[in-house]
Amino acid sequence: GAVVSQHPSRVICKSGTSVKIECRSLDFQATTMFWYRQFPKQSLMLMATSNEGSKATYEQGVEKDKFLINHASLTLSTLTVTSAHPEDSSFYICSAVTGGNTIYFGEGSWLTVV
C-alpha cells in the first residue's frame, strides 16, 4: 500500500532556532498534503494545506511566517518551524492523498523545544 514517510521522527532544538520536518509520499504523487499538530492528550488540528507548486493555505490562527511550508515536488512537502519556542513543542503529522482520494498519514514527528 501507499506509504507516507516523515523525518525526523524526533527532534530536540534550542529555543530560537528553526527546525525542518519532511513529509514524503514514497510510492505515489501527491499534489496536496496536509500538516496537522497534536498537543498531548488533544486532538489533531489542521495547520495548513500544502499545494505542490503554489503557496500553502493556512488555517485561521496559524502563523504562516512561523510555520513555513514548501511543497516543491509531487512527493515532498516540508514544514519549517522558525524561531521555535517551548510552546511549539508538539507532535506534527502530515497526510497525503492519492489519486484515488485515499488519505495516508506519515509516522509523525515529535518536536521538543528546550
Partner 1 sequence: GENVEQHPSTLSVQEGDSAVIKCTYSDSASNYFPWYKQELGKRPQLIIDIRSNVGEKKDQRIAVTLNKTAKHFSLHITETQPEDSAVYFCAASYGFGNEKLTFGTGTRLTIIP
* Cell numbers standing for residue 79: 514544514
Q: How far is the CB of 70 from partner 1 (least distance, A)?
A: 18
96 vs 33: CA distance, rounded Å: 4
Contact region with partner 1 (CB under 8 A), list: 13-21, 40-48, 70-78, 79-87: 40-48
Unique residue bearing C-alpha cell 482520494 = 101
Longest dimension (CA), the chain: 41
Kindly give, in sequence order, each residue whose CB lies less than 8 Å from that of residue 31, ignoring residues fewer than 6 positions away: 51, 52, 74
Specify the residue, 8 or 16, whose C-beta has the smaller distance to partner 1.
8
Question: Where does this chain touch partner 1 (CB under 8 A) — which range of 17-25, 62-70, 76-84, 101-109?
Answer: 101-109
Among 44, 62, 68, 76, interactor with partner 1 by CB under 8 A: 44
Cβ atoms of 29 and 14 closer than 8 Å = no
Query: Does 67 contact partner 1 by CB under 8 A?
Result: no
Contact residues: partner 1, CB under 8 A: 32, 34, 36, 42-46, 49, 60, 91, 93, 95, 97, 101, 103, 105-108, 110
